[in-house]
Structure 1
Amino acid sequence: MDWRVPLADLDYGKEEEEAVLNVLRSRWLTMGAVTQEFEAQFARLTGSKHAFAVSNATQALHLACLALGIGPGDEVIVPSLTFVATTNAVLYTGAEVRFADIIGPDELTIDPESIEQAITPRTKAIIVMHYAGYPCRMHAITALAEKHGLAVIEDAAHAPGASLDGKALGTWGALGCFSFFSNKNLSTGEGGMVTTDSDELAEHVRLQRSHGMTSLTYDRHKG
């Protein structure tokens, strides 16, 4: 028996091939009309007020931390089982990481009890990661965050399209961060998305996504 599992096994066909060719034919390869439509459709999919396409989920997580004003002197709680980007996004801001354990081998998501044990006076936010699309215990986590006055960032890199009790993953916290890498269930090859319902946080993401330019190059130069 061959136990090898491909890193990515994407079901692409003629429709996807034609969509890519249409972008190439448009001669507008980045941050154009297709990107804007993707953002709008993803916002509808998740039920989010705002959705911002970015280069990858690492940038999405970094922007989420920046939007919340996380920086030197702050601590952010992250799960002990996650991709290194989750922690690196915190470290990029100058803040420190505190790890909370997962629930166990049968539930690979962050443990609310371990989160509470990791909270200190310097804690500013909690990053949860929906491992393999399985939701964290968001009812308990959001209640805990509210109790301690903490923001919640959702690393939903594994979870485009997943939901808990009818509410999309990535919309339970202040900001949701998604990945469209080649081995994800929704792929653009590379790419990511930040979602939020907060106008204030959305403005921070918009401002910092592309060097302070709050409008797309496409909108300024499409003619």
Structure 2
Amino acid sequence: MSSTVPFNVPPLADEVSDAVVKVLDSGWITTGPQTAAFEQEFADHLGAAHVVAVASCTTALELCLRAMGLPPGSPVLTPSLTFCGAINAILHAGHRPVLVDIDEDTLVPSPETVAAAAARVKPAAMVTQNQAGYPVDVPALAAAAGLDRSRIVEDTAHGPGAARGGAPVGSSSFAACFSFYATKNLPIGEGGAVATSDEELADRVRAMRLHGLSKDAWKRYMPGGSWRYDLKTIGLKANMTDVQAAIGRAQLRALPDWQRAREELVARYDAALADVPGLILPQRGLPADVRHAWHLYQVRVPDRDVVGDELQAAGVATSVHFIPAHQLTAYRELLGEEECGRLPVTDRVAEQLLSLPLYPGLSPDGQDRVVAALTEALRTRG
């Protein structure tokens, strides 16, 4: 076809270009005043006590796990239906992933699947995940795992925008890790953040994102600063730059409008696809106090790979979230066949998942093309 409907087009706020130019003109482009301002503004947006901006959600997860001070090789629960970066964060922190099956409706672990995994090992920590933007019930999962909240790291890469109990995800978390990758709800290009209610954790992550140094460059080189520093812990090079932070500040102001656009697009998909045979739509009937972030619109279809190819031929780009970790060669070799054979729901559901285009700039005409192409692909299988 002459044109395609892209899977994602990152929205850019009107002020982004001016914000970047101002940073370039300031003479200070690495971690500095813009980063500090973004941290405060994002904390205010979430209602969180502390936010620490870092290089990515993956490094945020690793830094939080390192900051816990767990014994090397500690078992850490995690869903297998997640991006490989979340599993790598556990491994790079020096620990052992223990894979958890999912609930078929929510696509995230349930208290029952967490309890089953925890019965095999005594977990030291758990990484939860808000698949597609669904906010998990962290207290319920922590109780099922037998863990204190200070041993839960929340992978909230598919937020912000989600809420549970009237509170935004990350507002009262011990450690919630956000992503600002180009496809995310708050796109900066790259970057991540840790939101926490714990001041000690915030201080540790803040130091560890810059090798473990006692002072960052801004504090050392600003007027009145000193070049002297100490290394209090072993960390990573995982800081956010002021260029990224300036983009983030501009994007954050537009985020509420973008979230409303996502919700409108989801409602339109729901109405248009409700009666398509063979199609399973994302879960409905959510509790009144649960707000979905709608990072992804994931449907379940028969012959997923063939349907995806037919949509591509019709000019509609799609994606899959995710290839389960236990189906990837490196993890199968590392974890073993027995560990990778305990996830029947994940195995069944993952073969059906297909993510449709969903982004604030998706036009009605573009969405209609997605609906028509998917309806036609499934009609031939009816």
Same fold at TM > 0.5: yes
The structure with the largest helix share of the pair is: 2
Q: For 1:107 and 1:75, locate their aligned partners in 2 and report how far apart those are by CA, in whole Å.
A: 24
Alignment of 1:154-193 (within 5 A): 154-171=154-171, 173-193=173-193
How has the CA–CA distance of structure 1 residues 136 and 3 changed in structure 2, closer, same or farther, with 3 Å as cutoff? farther
Distance in 2 (alpha carbons) for counterparts of 1:2 and 1:101: 42
Contact 1:116–1:144 (Cα < 8 Å) also in 2: yes
Q: State the Cα distance separating 1:73 from its structure 2 match.
A: 3.1
- Cα 1:219/1:135, change in 2 over 3 Å: same
**1:217 to partner: Cα distance:** 1.1
Deviation at 1:213, TM superposition (A): 1.8
Give the aligned CA root-mean-square deviation in angstroms: 2.1
Q: Is residue 2:116 matched to residue 1:117? A: yes
**Deviations 1:64-116, CA, capped at 9 Å, x for gaps:** 10111134231000011110111111101221110111111x31112221111
| Range with bigger deviation, 165-174 or 206-215 | 165-174
Aligned to 1:123, the other structure's residue is in SS state coil
| In 2: Cα distance, 1:121 partner to 1:91 partner | 17
Contact 1:63 1:208 survives alignment (8 Å): yes
Does the 8 Å contact 1:99/1:118 carry over to 2? yes
Partner amino acid for 2:15?
Answer: E
Q: Show the counterpart of 2:82.
A: 82
* TM-score calculated relative to the size of structure 1: 0.90
Q: Which amino acid aligns with 2:111?
A: P
Match in the other structure for 2:132: 132
Deviation at 1:219?
A: 2.4
TM-score after normalising by structure 2: 0.54
Q: CA deviation at 1:26?
A: 1.3
User: Which amino acid in 1 is paired with 2:45?
Assistant: L
Aligned residue for 1:77, secondary structure, equals strand
Alignment of 1:26-41 (within 5 A): 26-41=26-41
Deviation at 1:139, TM superposition (A): 4.2
Q: 1-side partners of 2:142 and 2:98: how far apart? A: 18
- Of stretches 31-40 and 71-80 in structure 1, the one that deviates more from structure 2 is 71-80
> Which of 1 and 2 has greater Rg?
2
Deviations 1:116-159 (A, max 9, x none): 111155411111110111111334214335x4446111000111
| AA matched with 2:116 | Q
Which residue of the partner structure matches residue 108 of structure 1?
Answer: 107
Please, which moves more after superposition, 51-60 or 200-209? Answer: 200-209
Identity of aligned residues (%): 38
Whole-Å separation in 1 of the counterparts to 2:165 and 2:2: 37
Q: Does the Cα contact within 8 Å between 1:157 and 1:179 map onto a contact in 2?
A: yes
Q: Which runs of 5+ in 2 are unaligned?
A: 224-382
